[in-house]
Amino acid sequence: MFAPFVLVALAATIVSGFKNPIISGVNPDPSIARKGKDYFLATSSFEYFPGVPIYHSTDLIKWEVIGHALNRPSQLDLRGTAPSGGVFAPTLRYNQKTDTFYMVTTPFHVISPPDNTTLLPRSFYVSTKNIFDETAWSDPIW
């Protein structure tokens, strides 16, 4: 009964030359920006550090991690953040006039016991003119 569907799916994969998911692993809340023929993608990283991985592609099929937008403790201190907290749904944008990339996100701090404190979320952004150099991302602007 399902054999025709399996064959169609297999044929589509062979003909197209790629399979889903295009980026393996856990990469929720993708946001994409384009500069010329280059595509860049940022995803949520939650309580993990370094945060907000940045991927690069020229064909939207083959993706490579080129760094992280949040790569220094001075950008965001996630110590003590519980597994249900951290960096959610970043958005990545490119401003052609200023040749600058921006990553905007809102960290959600849920502090583990014994405090069990939830801090109010505040949004911030970081920027870079060289997205290929992960050390070039700015400190956050709150």
Whether 8 is covered by a domain: the verdict is no
50, 58 contact by CB (below 8 A)? no
Whether 80 is covered by a domain: the verdict is yes
**The two three-digit tokens of residue 89, written as one number:** 């749904």
Q: Tell me: pLDDT of 89 over 80.
A: yes
The CATH number of the domain where 104 resides is what?
A: 2.115.10.20
User: What integer pLDDT is reported at residue 7 of this predicted model?
Assistant: 38
Whether 73 is covered by a domain: the verdict is yes
Domain count, the chain: 1
Q: Tell me: pLDDT of 10 over 50.
A: no
- Angstrom distance (rounded) from CA 93 to CA 31: 8
Helix (H, G, I), strand (E, B) or coil at 110: strand
Q: Quick one: what percent of the chain has pLDDT higher than 70?
A: 80
Least reliable range by pLDDT among 24-33, 81-90, 117-126, 130-139: 117-126
Mean pLDDT over all residues of the chain? 86
Q: Which of 93, 85, 80, 6 lies closest to 41 in space, CA to CA?
A: 93
User: What integer pLDDT is reported at residue 120 of this predicted model?
Assistant: 64
Domain that holds residue 75: 25-136
What pLDDT, in 10s, does the model give residues 37-84? 999 999 999 999 999 999 999 999 999 999 999 999 999 888 778 787
Whether 123 is covered by a domain: the verdict is yes
**Rounded to two decimals, what is the model's pTM?**
0.83
